[in-house]
């Protein structure tokens, strides 16, 4: 039996639709992401589940919904990963710097953010090597496309890997320095 939303709960869900945008943004997922619409849809599923499951009293609706929205978005990303086996610079880069509590999905999100900022962190040729590597090109293919030597491509990959590890360390430091603000999401109710 499928549960449905009452009119009151439907209004609550509609009033908090911007929360899906907020969660996507907090995960570093922008509208430029080719999967944005699918991830937004997954977030809306989480919001509807929150509308069905939320009980008044303990938590505000937005706080409760935030976690379900994020969970559905991550599940959608996991299904992409399993289906497409996201290829990165190499397996070591994708999990580089992964520490206890910094799971594969969070690393994948961080890698996507790193790719978006790669033009600021890497030289033009290193960013091009990274882009082609993410697309699954081998060292030889990348070298031929860019007119570089294989050793130059390997050096650029190594620099990208080192920059990614630094990026992960910086993100981890930012998360530990910024305490979560409880009032930001609680203002909806």
pLDDT by residue for the chain (189 residues), tens only, comes to 456 778 888 898 899 999 999 999 888 888 887 778 888 998 999 999 888 888 888 788 888 899 899 888 888 877 665 444 434 444 444 444 444 344 566 666 777 777 777 777 788 888 888 777 777 778 788 888 888 888 888 888 888 888 877 877 777 777 666 554 444 444 444
State the Cα angle at 80 between 104 and 164, rounded to 5°.
Answer: 40
Q: Which domain holds residue 62?
A: 7-84
Whole-model pTM: value is 0.46
Q: Decide which of 61, 84, 107 is a domain's last residue.
A: 84
Do 96 and 133 fall into the same domain? yes
From CA 161, how far away is CA 92, in angstroms rounded? 8
Tokens 């600021």 found at:
120
Residue 17 is assigned to a structural domain of this protein: yes
From CA 43, how far away is CA 74, in angstroms rounded? 9
Distance of alpha carbon 53 from its chain centroid, rounded?
25
Angle between helices 104-121 and 150-177 (to 10 degrees): 110
From CA 180, how far away is CA 183, in angstroms rounded? 9
Residue 182 is assigned to a structural domain of this protein: no
Do 74 and 120 fall into the same domain? no
Do 67 and 16 fall into the same domain? yes
From CA 119, how far away is CA 128, in angstroms rounded? 9
CA-nearest of 7, 16, 167, 28 to 97 is: 167
From CA 5, how far away is CA 110, in angstroms rounded? 35
Q: Look up the CATH number of the domain holding residue 116.
A: 1.10.10
Do 79 and 96 fall into the same domain? no
Rg (CA), the chain: 20
């Amino acid at each position: 039996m499928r549960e449905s939303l009452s009119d009151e709960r439907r209004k609550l869900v509609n009033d908090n639709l911007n929360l899906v945008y907020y969660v996507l943004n907090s995960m570093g997922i922008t509208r430029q992401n080719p999967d944005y619409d699918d991830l937004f849809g997954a977030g809306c599923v989480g919001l509807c589940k929150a509308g069905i499951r939320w009980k008044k009293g303990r938590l505000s609706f937005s706080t409760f919904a935030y976690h379900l929205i994020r969970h559905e978005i991550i599940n959608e990303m996991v299904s992409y990963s399993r289906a497409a086996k996201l290829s990165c610079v190499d397996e070591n880069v994708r999990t580089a710097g992964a520490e206890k509590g910094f799971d594969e999905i969070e690393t994948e999100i961080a890698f996507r953010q790193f790719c978006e900022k790669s033009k600021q962190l890497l030289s033009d040729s290193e960013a091009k090597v990274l882009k082609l590597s993410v697309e699954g090109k081998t060292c030889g293919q990348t070298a031929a496309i860019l007119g570089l030597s294989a050793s130059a491509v390997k050096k650029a990959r190594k620099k990208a890997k080192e920059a990614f590890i630094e990026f992960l360390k910086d993100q981890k430091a930012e998360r530990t320095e910024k305490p979560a603000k409880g009032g930001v999401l609680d203002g909806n109710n």
